[in-house]
């Protein structure tokens, strides 16, 4: 598997070289990618003749899956060219349909006044969440962003618990105190969505350090891996660079997953970043960097499989840039008037759900009736989550100051459960302050 990384476009840390013998880091693998800004083939990078950077020229999207498929075609011993089994295909499809249907329902509920604050939807990016998270074990950790609903669903948090959290109800995964941008589940090792860009990356790095500490210091049987999800806008922030350095220095079992949807709110990625090829930042810190078509769940899955296995083997972190696209505005409060309609149409035609369905049909992995049954099942799950959330009670008033202080009952709430600040004696002598 390691060789597939090298042959598919990952840049490894630059080797020492003799000055009279230039080395080439890439094979010339061709692709039919129609990504905006893509070139027709991977560039050959010579160590002896550095190229001047061109901020508007992007590398081709080539995935490990292309390489594996080519190898399987050439191998006489291989009996199948399929990238997934029937069971895997149905699992991936169900998870992606769940993500899409859930987010569509969130939009309805938001406009009906059932949700408050900012709600950021994941429509169009499902291939990234499903491609990575469905390869994890329950013990593995996921750290998300403010666009976190689908990450939580993919990791196994029940739809009713996520919807209840969005409704601000006591039955939510954070008991109604987190809301849209702060999904958390100790049971499922979802370590939170984070409202500020970049603030989840240090948390993910700490979780990966915990895994390494358990394994190497406490001598526990621990091969847990952490996935850190974040967007293209985050990659110009200090936490990103600091954590890449730390993770590489300590060879932490973490995969940094950049969901590059090309827009940081209303700022184009190409206008905001001196070198828009984020994946190149991996080798600068001594880890592989990889750029993959984030609209194709099978390509994402193959890259994710190798990166996760690499981390699990103790070989350190990987940076994966998934070039994807969100089908809605930055949030439901965004009228989405800044993006070119032609650009939106280009990516809408590359819907990851449609692409997976086509692969399933082309390879006779399932019938249309079977996929319709999955869609019907998911519709029922989402409808039930809304009914459950709507009927659930709001958090009790006594919960307000919980998780604010280290010992909430020692300050904010008295032994009898009442608020200490409501006791006149508690504030006596402080009225002049």
**Alpha-carbon span 29 to 56, nearest angstrom:** 21
Q: What is the mean pLDDT of the chain?
A: 83
**Alpha-carbon span 98 to 159, nearest angstrom:** 9
98 is written with which tokens?
Answer: 């769940």
- pLDDT band of residue 217 (cuts 50, 70, 90) is very high
User: How much is the pLDDT for 404?
Assistant: 72
Do residues 331 and 417 both lie within one domain?
no
Answer whether residue 15 is part of any domain.
no
Do residues 347 and 417 both lie within one domain?
no
User: How much is the pLDDT for 81?
Assistant: 83
Do residues 203 and 282 both lie within one domain?
yes
What digits encode the pLDDT tens for the residues 77-124? Answer: 344 589 999 999 999 999 999 999 999 999 999 999 999 889 999 999
User: How much is the pLDDT for 64?
Assistant: 45
Reported for 77-84, long-range contacts at CB under 8 A and 24+ positions apart, including other chains, are 82/363, 82/365, 83/298, 83/301, 83/302, 84/298, 84/301, 84/365
What digits encode the pLDDT tens for the residues 131-167? Answer: 999 999 999 999 999 999 999 999 999 999 999 999 9
Do residues 77 and 160 both lie within one domain?
yes
Do residues 409 and 339 both lie within one domain?
no
Answer whether residue 56 is part of any domain.
no
pTM metric for this prediction: 0.79
List the beta strands (DSSP E) in 219-310. Answer: 226-231, 254-260, 263-264, 267-268, 289-293
pLDDT above 90: residue 419: no
Answer whether residue 33 is part of any domain.
no
User: How much is the pLDDT for 146?
Assistant: 96
Answer whether residue 106 is part of any domain.
yes
Answer whether residue 414 is part of any domain.
yes
pLDDT above 80: residue 314: yes
Do residues 333 and 196 both lie within one domain?
yes
Dihedral pair phi/psi, residue 187, rounded to 5°: -60, -40
User: How much is the pLDDT for 421?
Assistant: 62
Do residues 198 and 111 both lie within one domain?
yes
Do residues 430 and 336 both lie within one domain?
no
- pLDDT band of residue 398 (cuts 50, 70, 90) is confident
**Alpha-carbon span 318 to 311, nearest angstrom:** 8
- pLDDT band of residue 231 (cuts 50, 70, 90) is very high
Percent of the chain residues past pLDDT 90, beyond the cut = 72
- pLDDT band of residue 19 (cuts 50, 70, 90) is very low
Instruction: DSSP for 298-361, please give it.
Output: HHHHHHHHHHHHHHHTT---EEEEEE---SS-SSTT----SS-HHHHHHHHTT-HHHHHHHHHH
pLDDT above 90: residue 180: yes
- The CATH number covering residue 248 comes to 3.40.50.970
Do residues 181 and 249 both lie within one domain?
yes
Do residues 221 and 188 both lie within one domain?
yes
What digits encode the pLDDT tens for the residues 25-70? Answer: 223 333 344 444 433 332 323 323 333 334 443 433 444 444 444 4
Answer whether residue 167 is part of any domain.
yes
Average pLDDT over residues 253-280: 95
Answer whether residue 174 is part of any domain.
yes
What digits encode the pLDDT tens for the residues 276-301? Answer: 999 999 999 999 999 999 999 999 99
Q: Which residues form the domain of 180?
A: 67-395
- pLDDT band of residue 4 (cuts 50, 70, 90) is very low
pLDDT above 80: residue 20: no
- 241 neighbors 223 (Cβ within 8 angstroms): no
Pairing of strands 141-143, 318-323: unpaired
Residue 190, CB-side half-sphere exposure with 13 Å CA sphere: 29
pLDDT above 70: residue 190: yes
Average pLDDT over residues 204-220: 97
Q: How many domains does the chain have?
A: 2
Do residues 292 and 433 both lie within one domain?
no
Answer whether residue 347 is part of any domain.
yes
**Alpha-carbon span 364 to 359, nearest angstrom:** 8
**Alpha-carbon span 358 to 121, nearest angstrom:** 24
User: How much is the pLDDT for 315?
Assistant: 97
Of 240 and 409, more confident: 240
Average pLDDT over residues 222-243: 96
Do residues 197 and 308 both lie within one domain?
yes
* Least confident stretch, 226-230, 266-270, 349-353: 266-270
């Amino acid at each position: 598997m390691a060789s597939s990384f090298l042959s598919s476009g990952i840049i490894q840390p630059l080797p020492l070289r003799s000055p009279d013998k230039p080395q080439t880091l890439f094979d010339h693998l061709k692709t039919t990618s129609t990504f905006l800004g893509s070139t027709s083939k991977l560039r050959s990078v010579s160590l002896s003749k550095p190229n001047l950077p061109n901020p508007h020229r992007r590398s081709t999207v080539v995935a490990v899956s292309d390489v594996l498929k080519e190898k399987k075609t050439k191998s006489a011993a291989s009996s199948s060219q399929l990238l997934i089994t029937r069971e895997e295909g149905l699992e991936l499809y169900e998870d992606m349909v769940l993500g899409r249907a859930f987010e569509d329902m969130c939009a309805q509920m938001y406009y009906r006044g059932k949700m408050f604050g900012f709600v950021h939807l994941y429509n169009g990016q499902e291939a990234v969440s499903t491609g990575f998270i469905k390869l994890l074990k329950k013990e593995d950790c996921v750290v998300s962003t403010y666009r976190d609903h689908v990450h939580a669903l993919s990791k196994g948090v029940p739809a009713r618990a996520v919807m209840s959290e969005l409704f601000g109800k006591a039955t939510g995964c954070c008991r109604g105190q987190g809301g849209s941008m702060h999904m958390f589940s100790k049971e499922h090792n979802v370590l939170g969505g984070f409202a500020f860009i970049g603030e989840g990356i240090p948390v993910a790095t700490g979780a990966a350090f915990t895994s390494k500490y358990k394994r190497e210091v406490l001598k526990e049987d621990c091969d847990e891996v952490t996935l850190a999800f974040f967007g293209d806008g985050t990659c110009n922030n200090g936490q990103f660079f600091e954590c890449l350095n730390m993770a590489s220095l300590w060879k932490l079992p973490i995969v940094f997953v950049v969901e590059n949807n090309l827009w940081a709110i209303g700022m184009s990625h190409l206008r905001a970043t001196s070198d828009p090829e984020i994946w190149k930042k991996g080798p600068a810190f001594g880890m592989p960097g990889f750029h993959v078509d984030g609209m194709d769940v099978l390509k994402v899955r193959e890259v994710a499989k190798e990166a996760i296995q690499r981390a699990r083997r103790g070989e350190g972190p990987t940076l994966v840039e998934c070039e994807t696209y969100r089908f809605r505005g930055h949030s439901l409060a965004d009228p989405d008037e800044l993006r070119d309609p032609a650009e939106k149409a280009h990516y809408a035609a590359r819907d990851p759900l449609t692409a997976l369905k086509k692969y399933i049909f082309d390879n006779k992995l399932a019938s249309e009736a079977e996929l319709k049954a999955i869609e019907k099942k998911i519709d029922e799950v989402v409808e039930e989550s809304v009914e459950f959330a709507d009927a659930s009670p709001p958090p009790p008033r006594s919960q307000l100051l919980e998780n604010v202080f280290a010992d909430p009952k020692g300050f904010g709430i008295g032994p009898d459960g009442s608020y200490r600040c409501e006791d006149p004696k508690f504030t006596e002598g402080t009225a002049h302050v």
